[in-house]
């Protein structure tokens, strides 16, 4: 029996998770070969409210023993005044670190039927299809020392950005594998003109990438610009934790909405965490209008990378494709004055397409 840990979280997290679990249940009812059971826990703000901690040790232990973790989103204004190490976001960071999930795959592409939903002009966005491979357990998010100290005019906050050879090598290897399965092109994004950690990054990337891969390097400021100027030049992008965080939100707008962007966080074992790129969207939580597709597509990635069921991954992705092609839209994708469907109605539409 494989275990899937379900962590709905905060804000729109539970809303998009509901739709995703309806799809998972539908699949489990129909495929007797799949031996999967789910266990649901509070994380993030929901866990702080009940247990005074964003991630209980029993939740982490259950996650470590599972095959896959599905996470909705965490965080919200209610918890914004807490110190950094008590915030809801710590749940995510701790799960990533403790589970050894150093490789975050964030695909972004333009669905032909949605080219008008992208703020980019059609001729720039059309056909774009890229994958950001973000280093997830190192860099600026985790390096020591870090802290905030002192008082008054002397108060100071600091973080450290460091990467070891091994950390860069293993994420580069993941990106190389991904590039081989795609068009064989890889762009490494760094800030090697200023940062020593990036100079090391570039050295290791050069040493690690074999000659069958077409490799280029780009500074992160230029990469941000190129993503909106000519997104089709990219296939696989490999980059550090902080740069990958920022570039993936930019990339979401190529596809039209961050509500479409799924992700998989992987390590050296089968265990993976699957979560949308977006957050808990406090501004729309409770409206019933969140786009559940990023979460649903994250479930597809779980079937592909952790649950040995690539056929279900393909079926979910095909169903989402048809929902989009048939013109169904949540509010984030609808144009000015256009009709849109609720979170639940889009969930229904995906289920209908799966049943076809």
- So which residues are the catalytic ones? 141, 191, 221, 245, 249
Cα gap 209→28, rounded to integer Å: 40
Nearer to ligand NAD, 34 or 334 (CB): 334
Nearer to ligand NAD, 74 or 300 (CB): 74
Least gap, CB of 106 to ligand IPM (angstroms)? 8
Least gap, CB of 347 to ligand NAD (angstroms)? 12
Nearer to ligand IPM, 198 or 248 (CB): 248
Nearer to ligand NAD, 167 or 332 (CB): 332
Helix or strand or coil: residue 340?
Answer: coil
- Judged by CB under 6 A, does residue 347 bind ligand NAD? no
Dihedral sign from CA coordinates of 121, 257, 314, 182: positive
How are the residues of the chain apportioned to helix, strand and coil, as percentages rounded to the nearest 5?
45, 15, 35
Candidate list 283, 336, 337, 355; residue touching ligand NAD; CB under 6 A:
283
Which conformational region is residue 133 in: left (phi greater than 0), alpha (psi within -120 to 50 degrees), or beta? beta
Q: Out of ligand IPM, Mn ion, ligand NAD, none, which partner does residue 17 contact, by CB within 5 to 8 A per kind?
A: none
Candidate list 130, 220, 290, 309; residue touching ligand NAD; CB under 6 A:
290
Nearer to ligand IPM, 245 or 353 (CB): 245
Other CB atoms within 10 Å distance of the CB of residue 35: 9
Residues making contact with ligand IPM (CB under 6 A): 75, 89, 92-93, 245, 277, 279
Q: Out of ligand NAD, ligand IPM, Mn ion, none, which partner does residue 298 contact, by CB within 5 to 8 A per kind?
A: none
Beta bridge partners of 265: 104, 273
Helix or strand or coil: residue 193?
Answer: coil
Q: Out of Mn ion, ligand NAD, ligand IPM, none, which partner does residue 93 contact, by CB within 5 to 8 A per kind?
A: ligand IPM
Only one of the segments 149-157, 203-211, 271-279, 303-311 lies at the binding site for ligand NAD (rule: CB under 6 A); that segment is: 271-279
Q: Out of ligand IPM, ligand NAD, Mn ion, none, which partner does residue 259 contact, by CB within 5 to 8 A per kind?
A: ligand NAD
- Judged by CB under 6 A, does residue 350 bind ligand NAD? no
Cα gap 343→287, rounded to integer Å: 9
The answer to whether the peptide bond before residue 145 is cis (omega within 30 degrees of 0) is yes
Contact 287, 332 (CB under 8 A): no
Nearer to ligand NAD, 219 or 340 (CB): 340
- Judged by CB under 6 A, does residue 101 bind ligand NAD? no
Candidate list 8, 14, 54, 76; residue touching ligand NAD; CB under 6 A:
76
Residues making contact with Mn ion (CB under 5 A): 245
Tell me which long-range contacts 113-119 makes (C-beta under 8 A, separation of at least 24): 113/324, 113/325, 113/327, 114/255, 114/256, 114/260, 114/324, 114/333, 115/256, 116/335, 117/256, 117/257, 117/329, 117/333, 117/334, 117/335, 118/253, 118/254, 118/255, 118/256, 119/253
Site for ligand NAD in 219-258 (CB under 6 A): 258
- Judged by CB under 6 A, does residue 281 bind ligand NAD? yes
342: nearest Cα among 323, 354, 329, 351: 329
Nearer to ligand NAD, 67 or 248 (CB): 248
Candidate list 4, 73, 178, 319; residue touching ligand NAD; CB under 6 A:
73
Q: CB-side exposure of 192: number of CA atoms within 13 Å?
A: 16
- Judged by CB under 6 A, does residue 291 bind ligand NAD? yes
Interface residues with ligand NAD (CB under 6 A)?
Answer: 12, 73-76, 89, 92, 258-259, 275, 278-284, 290-291, 294, 332
């Amino acid at each position: 029996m494989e275990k899937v840990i379900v962590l709905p979280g905060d804000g729109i997290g539970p809303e998009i998770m509901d739709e995703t679990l309806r799809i998972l249940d539908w699949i489990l009812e129909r495929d007797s070969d799949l031996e999967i059971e789910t266990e649901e826990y509070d994380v993030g703000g929901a866990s702080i409210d009940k247990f005074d901690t964003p991630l209980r040790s029993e939740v982490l232990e259950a996650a470590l023993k599972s095959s896959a973790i599905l996470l909705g989103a965490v965080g919200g204004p209610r918890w914004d005044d807490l110190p950094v190490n008590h915030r809801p976001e710590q749940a995510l960071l701790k799960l990533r670190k403790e589970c050894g999930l150093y490789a975050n795959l964030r695909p972004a592409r333009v669905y032909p039927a949605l080219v008008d939903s992208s703020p980019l002009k059609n001729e720039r966005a059309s056909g774009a299809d890229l994958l950001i491979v973000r280093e997830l357990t190192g860099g600026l998010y985790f390096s020591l020392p870090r802290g905030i100290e002192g008082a008054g005019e002397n108060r100071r906050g600091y973080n450290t950005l460091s990467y070891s050879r091994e950390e860069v090598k293993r994420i580069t290897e993941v990106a190389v594998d991904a590039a081989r399965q795609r068009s064989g092109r890889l762009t490494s994004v760094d800030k090697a003109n200023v940062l020593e950690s990036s100079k090391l990054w570039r050295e290791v990337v050069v040493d690690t990438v074999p000659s069958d891969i077409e490799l280029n390097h780009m500074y992160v400021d230029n990469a941000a610009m190129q993503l909106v100027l000519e997104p089709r030049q990219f296939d696989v992008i490999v980059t550090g934790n902080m740069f990958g965080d920022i570039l993936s939100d930019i990339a979401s707008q190529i596809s039209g909405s961050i509500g479409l962007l799924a992700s998989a966080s992987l390590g050296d074992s089968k265990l993976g965490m699957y979560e949308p790129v977006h957050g808990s969207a406090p501004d729309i939580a409770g409206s019933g209008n969140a786009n559940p597709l990023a979460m649903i597509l994250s479930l597809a990635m779980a079937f592909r990378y952790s649950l040995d069921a690539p056929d279900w991954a393909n079926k979910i992705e095909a169903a989402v494709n048809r929902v989009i092609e048939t013109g169904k839209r949540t509010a984030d994708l609808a144009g000015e004055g256009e009709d849109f469907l609720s979170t639940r109605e889009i969930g229904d539409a995906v289920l209908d397409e799966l049943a076809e």
